[in-house]
Structure 1
Amino acid sequence: MKRTSLPPRGLSDRQISNNDTPTLRLYQVWKGNNKFALRGRLIFGSDARSLYLTIFLIVVPVILFCSLVSQSLVNYFPKNIGLLLVAIPAVFTLYILVLIFFVAARDPGIIPRNPPSPDLDDDWDASSMSTDWAATQSGKYLPPTKSLNVNGTMVRVKFCQTCMLYRPPRCSHCAICNNCVDRFDHHCPWVGQCIGKRNYRSFFMFVSSLAILCTYVFAMCWINIIMIMQENSSGIWEALMKSPISGILITYTFTASWFVGGLSAFHIYLVITNQTTYENFRNRYERRKNPFNHGCAQNFKEVLFSKIPRSQNEFRTFVRPEVYTQYNSSRYFGYAFSLNFSKKSYETETSIDGIELDLERCDTSGTDHSSKWVTAPDLHRLASKFISENVNKDKEKRQGV
């Protein structure tokens, strides 16, 4: 199939849809803030550049240890044991870098978005559309939340106005990556990626392995200092002056151990109780039962030893771009949140004390967006507040005159 490029910038959605636009891959028109590599095979978060800092903070101390401190350990210990002590941190670091790659470059469990309307694409599979979205297209009112029965406990789920779907249980919308993520734990700034159902295990192994590596380097540096003290019959300060790198690494790994060690212990607690960081910080199960808690052993098996589910998105599949280029949450909701009701988009008809407004009228494009207003009751409240403020200002002006 012939390779295609993205539509030129500056064209409106209507211009793009009217043109004979070639077929593009899903990752090329994806509305999230993700960054893709290798033509959609790898998906990173919006702040993936933080990976450089994280890798630097891990690799540089290990290089200093293996190149400067380990030479003394090789001389102090038998040859085979000394070489093994040097090889352990090097191999462990490579293992940690692989885990970072699995955490940062994998789909964390992004829930597919609903397109604006199935009428935009004749080839669109209607069976893939959720019944909730079909309800919005038919003009029915969708409540902002609804309740589901999960293991005998009622769980409330919210409607996402960005992704146009009811979020599954334990799903949350990440404001940084602009995606709904299944079993959302948190957005990790150190790897620049959301932590969700598909990469939580790799994240847990990454954090715990990093804690072990810090402890190992910390202990080996202390052993090196003690051996220098015994060999030269000197005090600790003289030994630190002879091997200043050991002192620097001791301070660095001690500080890092508190951070990654405490984080590892916290996530062990979360695994035992089958919680996410997001749920724990929100105190979701402080006053009610956790419907996902099946006991310590079963929780460990479910979180750490269960099969990683397949990604729900095929980012390399070819799609009709107008299905996604015409969908923009700000197009439907941005006018209300910015308090910018332009005459071009919304005509005025209803009169309230001299101020004419009609929030149910659509733009002149002929597409009925009234259902979008129906699905967002908060916008009505915001618009009402806007109306009342202008009415009060108008009255004050009249009284002043």
Structure 2
Amino acid sequence: MARRVYHVWKGRNIFFCKGRLIFGPDAKSLIITLLLILVPVVIFCTNVARNLLHEFPTYNTGYVILVVTILFTIYVLVLLFLTSARDPGIVPRNLHPPEEEICYDPSTSVDVGEGHTPTPRLPRTKEVTVNGFSVKVKYCDTCMIYRPPRCSHCSVCDNCVERFDHHCPWVGQCIGLTTYENFRYGAANRHNVYDQGCLRNFLEVFCTKTNPSRNNFQAYVQEEMPMRITREVKIDDSEGDSRTKVQDNLEIDNDLLKISQRRDAVEAVNSRS
């Protein structure tokens, strides 16, 4: 039976709209965040901006203040939604450990028949080359991958996230590769990315493409069906007549029981004859 990827996803994420929207496990905290944004705005509009409508009737300054307040509030809510409901840069999991990285430790071995086989293990770190520099990457036991540089495993969402910064409880999502642009705060002694002029700053914020998700949560996955086996049981009667061939196509859970019951019934019939 075919199911979608978000149905079988092993992380703690919450999905809506058939996998189009992905939230963190603490998405309920968004209610508090929304209240902290909307309540002050509503109080300002009803008690301050409304009175300004009559204070500056000539140039409609009061209406300008009210409109700007509403537009900035909508802008903040849109960024909040884009940050909370987007894949933050989750690295796809592996179903099995990477076989090409498995090495065998001769110091520890297991008995297999008459011989000894070295115990397979995965190195905890390995070196990769990034832009001509050698970088060590760590192995994640949960996702069964070697994490790319600047990637960390979020203990809240239980996912490996590229360019992981932190998990923000106020937005209920990880701040990573695709959500960091909507979460920029002060330059903090670093290069100010918003010193390119008003037009270029506007284009960078509203017209820059974000990195696409590496996971297609709406795709279908083919789950493995319960295994079925075909057994052949040959039964000899007491008179030496022809053999009876019984072919059973049974579930693994009850096939041996049914075969045993049929054999007992045949032997009982033969004993009576």
**TM class, shorter-chain normalised?**
0.5 to 0.7
Q: Please, which of 61, 66, 83 is the counterpart of residue 40 of structure 2?
A: 61
Matching residue within 272, 280, 284 for 2:191: 272
Q: Secondary structure at the match of 1:55?
A: helix
Aligned to 2:220: 318
Give the Cα separation in 2 of the matches to 1:48 and 1:56: 14
Which residue in the other structure is 2:176 paired with? 196
> 1: distance between equivalents of 2:127 and 2:189?
24
The two structures, once aligned, show a CA RMSD in angstroms of 2.8
Once the two structures are superposed, the pairs formed by residues 203-352 of structure 1 within 5 Å of their partners are: 203-204=183-184, 264-265=185-186, 268-269=187-188, 272=191, 307-322=209-224
CA 1:158–1:270: 2 relative to 1, 3 Å: farther
Residue 73 of structure 1 corresponds to 52
Superposition deviation, residue 308 in structure 1? 1.6
- Give 5+ residue unaligned stretches, structure 2: 105-118, 226-273
Match among 181, 193, 198 for residue 161 of structure 2: 181
| Partner of residue 36, structure 1 | 15
Aligned equivalents of 1:51, 1:151: Cα separation in 2: 39
Q: Contact conserved, 1:186 with 1:195, CA < 8 A, in 2?
A: yes
- What is the SS of the residue equivalent to 2:126? strand
1:93-132 alignment runs, 5 A limit: 93-116=73-96, 132=98
How far did 1:269 drift?
A: 3.6
Equivalent residue pairs, number = 202
TM-score by length of 2: 0.67
- Who is 1:47 aligned against? 26
Paired residue secondary structure (2:191): helix
- Please give the per-residue CA displacement for 1:374-399, whole angstroms capped at 9, x wherever unaligned: xxxxxxxxxxxxxxxxxxxxxxxxxx
Q: 1:133 to 1:44 in 2, by over 3 A?
A: farther
Q: SS at the partner of 1:89?
A: helix
- Distance in 2, matches of 1:69 and 1:182, equals 44
Report the AA paired with residue 48 of structure 2: V
Detail structure 1 runs of 4+ shifted over 4 Å in the superposition. 137-140, 303-306
Match of 1:135 among 91, 94, 101: 101
Note the C-alpha offset of 1:150. Answer: 2.7
Equivalent positions of 1:366-385 (< 5 A) are: none
Structure 1 letter corresponding to 2:12: N
**Percent identical:** 48
- TM-score, normalisation: structure 1: 0.46
CA distance in 2, matches of 1:269, 1:153: 27
Gap change, CA 1:273 and 1:136, over 3 Å in 2: farther
**CA–CA distance in 2 between the matches of 1:113 and 1:142?**
16
Distance 1:160 1:188, change over 3 A: same
Aligned residues of 1:29 and 1:321 also touching (Cα < 8 A): no
- Whichever residue aligns with residue 191 of structure 2, its letter is I
Report the Cα distance in structure 1 between the residues aligned to 2:167 and 2:145, rounded to whole angstroms.
21
- What is the CA-CA distance between 1:137 and the residue it aligns to? 9.7
Question: Deviation per CA, 1:115-165, whole angstroms, max 9, x where unpaired?
Answer: 037xxxxxxxxxxxxxx3443499753211122233343322100000000
- Give me the whole-angstrom Cα distance separating, in 2, the residues matched to 1:107 and 1:153: 29
- Hey, what's the Cα distance between the residues in 1 that align with 2:56 and 2:148? 56
Give the residue type in structure 2 aligned to 1:272.
H
| Conserved 8 A contact 2:103-2:121 | no
Indicate conservation of the 8 Å contact 1:133/1:164, yes or no: no
> Structure 1, residues 234-279: CA drift from partner, whole Å, max 9, x if none?
xxxxxxxxxxxxxxxxxxxxxxxxxxxxxx22xx2486399xxxxx
Q: Which runs of 5+ in 1 are unaligned?
A: 1-21, 118-131, 205-263, 275-295, 324-401
Structure 1 residue 198: deviation in Å? 0.9
Q: Does structure 2 retain, via aligned residues, the 8 Å contact 1:157–1:169? A: yes
Structure-2 separation of matches of 1:60 and 1:36: 28
Instruction: Kindly indicate whether residue 62 of structure 2 is the aligned counterpart of residue 82 of structure 1.
Output: yes
